[in-house]
Structure 1
Amino acid sequence: MKNTLLVSAFTSLAITTAANADVLIDFSDMSNVSYTASPALNSFTSNFDAWGVYNFASGAPRMSDQSATGGTVGLISSYDNNPFFGIVDSINNDTTQPPTIEFAIDISGAESISFSIDMGAYGGFEESGSSFDYVKWQYNIDGGTTKTLFDIKPIDEESATYYFDNGSTVDIGSPLSFIDSETGETVILNNGYRNISEQTGGLNTYKTDIEGTGETLYIQLIARVDGSKEVYAFDNLEVTVAPEPGSTSLASLALLLMLTRRQHKTA
C-alpha cells in the first residue's frame, strides 16, 4: 500500500511538471495573433513588392517557385499552398524605412522558453553599399533588454543552392546567412527542401532558446530586403513554454516527501 501511494504521488508530480504550452503562429488566421506592424501588412502598391501574408498563388512574382514554366526562380514550393509571411523589396516607393512587425506572446508562469521558425530566402543579396540587406529577429521580455534571436545578413564569399519543383537547381552567390548560436557555424538560407517523388516541399526549420522569464514575450522582425529579385519568407513561429510547477505539483511533491519519511520511519 505504501509503495502504491508513493508511485501515485510521483506519477502526479511527473505528469503535471512535464506539461508544455506551445504557441504556434502559422498565419492561417491573423485575427487570433497579437501583433503590431509598420507599415500595415499587404499594403505595398507594386506587384513586385511584398510585405505580409500570402500563399503560393499570391504575392510578388519571385516569391513562388516558377519552375513549372521553365524558370529557376522562386522561394515557395507549389506543393505547399499554406499561408506564409513573405517579404520582397521592402525599401520602395511605399516606405523608405525597413518594415517591422512585433508579436506579443503570453509567457506568464514559464520556467523555460524555446523558439523555432520555418524560414528561407531566394536571390543574391547585398552585404554593403546603398542597397545593403539584412533581416533581424530579436526579442525582449516585458519591455526589458533586447536580445538577438537570428542576425541574418548576406555573405558575399558563399553561394546557396536553390531547389525547384521540376527537379532543377541553381547556385546564386551572396545568400542570406546567420551564425548558429549553439555551434558557431554559418547557416546559409535557401528555398528549403523538395521531394519530387512525394510532391512535398517547404521551408527549413531553425531553433534557438530564449533567455529569461516574465509575463509577455515580444518577438520583433526588422527586414531590409532591397530588391525585387530578393525574397525572404517565414512561417510557423512556435514558442514552446515549459511552465513552472503549479500548486498541484507542489502538493504532490510535499506528499511524496511525507510518504517517503513515513516509509523510512516504519522500515
Structure 2
Amino acid sequence: MTNQVVAVGTEGRLDLADFVGESMLLIGAGATVLLQLAVPGVGRGVAEHSTTLERPLDRLRTTMTFVYAVTLGTAEEKQAVVRLVNRAHVPVRSERYNAFDPELQLWVAATLYRNGFDMYQRFFGPMSDADAERLYRQSAVYGTALQVREDIWPATRTEFDAYWDRMIETAAVDAQVRAYVRGLLAGGRAPLPVRMTMPLQRFLTIGLLPPRIRDQFALPWSPRDQRRFDRLMTVLPVVYRRVPRPLRQVTATYYLRDMRRRLAKHAHLI
C-alpha cells in the first residue's frame, strides 16, 4: 500500500487527489473552520461539544484524517474513517443542532471545497474551466461521504456560488461562539511551539475571511493589515512553488501513514 501523494498537474488535468495533499491548503484551514462556525448549528455544536481547545492537535488530526481518507485513501479506509466520524458525531446534538443534519454537513463540505479552490488559485494560478468543474464535482465527497445526498450538493457552480453568498449573508455568531473562537485563535492548550506560530496563523486566518464573517466574529482588521496581508500572499506562493513536491506534501504523507497505523491497530473496533 503506497503512501505517495500525487503531484499537482502531473497528468495535464487537475483532479481533487492531485492537490489535496498540498500543505498550502492548511494555510486556509483556520478560515475554513471559522466559516463553519459562523453558521449557528455548527458553531453551537462545536462550542458546546468540541475538545479542540483542550486537544487542538488531536482535533486537527481527526479533521485531516477525514479529508485525506475520503480523497486519497482506499475504499476500505474511507469506509472505516467515515464510521469513526459518525460514531464521534452521535453525542453532538441538542434541540438547536444535530451533527447528522445534512444541511449543516453540506455547509462544512462547502467550506472545504471553497478553501481548496481559493487556495489553489492563490498559489498555482487560475484553473481552466474544465478543471474547475471537475474539482467541484469531486469535492461533493466531503459531504456525500457522510449524510449529504448527492442531490443536495448544488447542481452547478453557479448554484453553489448563490448558495455560498446566501450562507455568508445569513451567518450569525453569538457570544458563546465568539468566545470559543478567541480561545481557538490563541492556540488553546496546544504545545508551546504551536502557540508560538499562532500570531501568524491568526493573521492569515483573519485575512482570508470574507469581511462580513470577520465582522461577525468581531475580529480587528485595518487597511494596514490588508496591505500587509496582500504583500505576504504575493510572496508566499512564489516561495511555496519552489519547495520540492515531497516536502510540500509531507503533511498528507504523515497523516495517511498515521491513519493506516491506527486503523491497523484498532481494526477490531471498526
TM-score, with length taken from structure 2 = 0.23
Q: TM-score, normalised by structure 1?
A: 0.23
* Higher fraction of strand: 1
Greater helix content: 2
